[in-house]
Amino acid sequence: MKARVVAVFAAGLALAACKDPAIPDRAGAYAFADTSIIGPDTSVTLFRWPESRLPVRFWADPRSNMRFLVERAIGVWQDQLLYGELRGVVVSDSGGADVIVQWTDSVPPDVPPDTTSGPNACGGVTTFEYDSTGFALAGPVHVSLTVLTGSPASAGQVQACMRRVAIHELGHSLGLLRHSSFDEDIMFGSPIVDYPSRFDRRSVEALYHSQPTVQPPPQ
Amino acid sequence: MLVTLWLTAYPPNRLTAQVSFHVALGARYSSTLVHDSIGTSFDLRPALAPAFLVSVRDELRPGWSADVTLDVSSSGLRRHEGGGSFDAGSFTAFAFTVGLRRHFTPNASARVGVGGMRYRASQTGVFREGSGGIFPLGSVAATYAPPLPFAQKHQLEIEARYDIHLFITPALRTEGFTSSRPVHRVAVVARMGWGG
Say how many domains are in chain A. 1
Q: Which among A19, A24, A85 is the nearest to B182, CB-wise?
A: A19
With CB atoms and an 8 Å threshold, state whether B180 touches A19. Answer: yes
| Cα–Cα distance list, A95 to A58, A139, B101, B147 (Å) | 11, 10, 63, 65
Does B175 reside within a domain?
yes
The answer to the question of residue A53 being in a domain is yes
Complex ipTM tops 0.90: no
- CATH number of the domain enclosing A198: 3.40.390.10
Name the residue in chain B with its Cα closest to that of A203.
Answer: B38
Tell me if B85 is assigned to some domain: no
- A22 falls within a domain: no
Q: Is residue A66 part of a domain?
A: yes
* Residue A62 resides in a domain: yes
Q: How many structural domains are present in chain B?
A: 1
> How far apart are the C-alpha atoms of B25 and B23, rounded to whole Å?
7
pLDDT in tens, B126-165: 999 999 999 999 999 999 999 999 888 899 999 999 999 9
Task: With respect to residue B147, please indicate whether it lies within any of the assigned structural domains.
Answer: yes
Q: Which of A83, A89, A197, A210 to mutate to test the interface with B (most CBs of B within 10 A)?
A: A83
pLDDT digits (tens, 9 = 90+) for B76-92: 999 999 899 999 999 99
DSSP letters for chain B? -HHHHHHHH--TT--GGGEEEEEEEEEEEE--SEEEEESEEEEEEEPPEEEEEEEEEEEEETTEEEEEEEEEEEEEEEEEETTEEEEEEEEEEEEEEEEEEEESSSSEEEEEEEEEEEEE--SSGGGTT---SEEEEEEEEEEE----HHHHHTT-EEEEEEEEEEE--HHHHHHT--S-EEEEEEEEEEEEEEE-
Confidence of residue A41 (pLDDT cuts 50, 70, 90): low
**Residues whose CB is less than 8 angstroms from the CB of residue A86 and which lie 6 or more positions away in sequence, other chains included:** A49, A54, A56, A77, A78, A174, A204, A208
- By the 8 A CB rule, do B65 and B95 touch? no
What does pTM read for this prediction? 0.85
For B38, the closest of A13, A16, A209 (CB atoms) is: A209
A6 in any annotated domain = no
Q: Could you tell me the CA-to-CA distances from A12 to A5, B113, B138, B160 in Å, in that order?
A: 11, 13, 9, 20
In a domain, B83, yes or no: no
With respect to residue A17, please indicate whether it lies within any of the assigned structural domains. Answer: no
The boundaries of the domain holding residue A49 are 29-207
Q: Which residues contact B31 (CB under 8 A, 6 or more apart)?
A: B45, B182, B183, B184, B185
Domain hosting B134: range is 2-8+20-34+52-75+92-195
Pairing of strands A34-38, A122-127: unpaired
Q: Does residue A78 lie in a domain region? A: yes
Residue A12: inside a domain, yes or no?
A: no
Which residue in chain A is spatially nearest to B102 when comparing CA positions? A2
The CATH number given to whatever domain includes residue B177 is 2.40.160
Lowest mean pLDDT across A1-5, A86-90, A129-133, B29-33 = A1-5
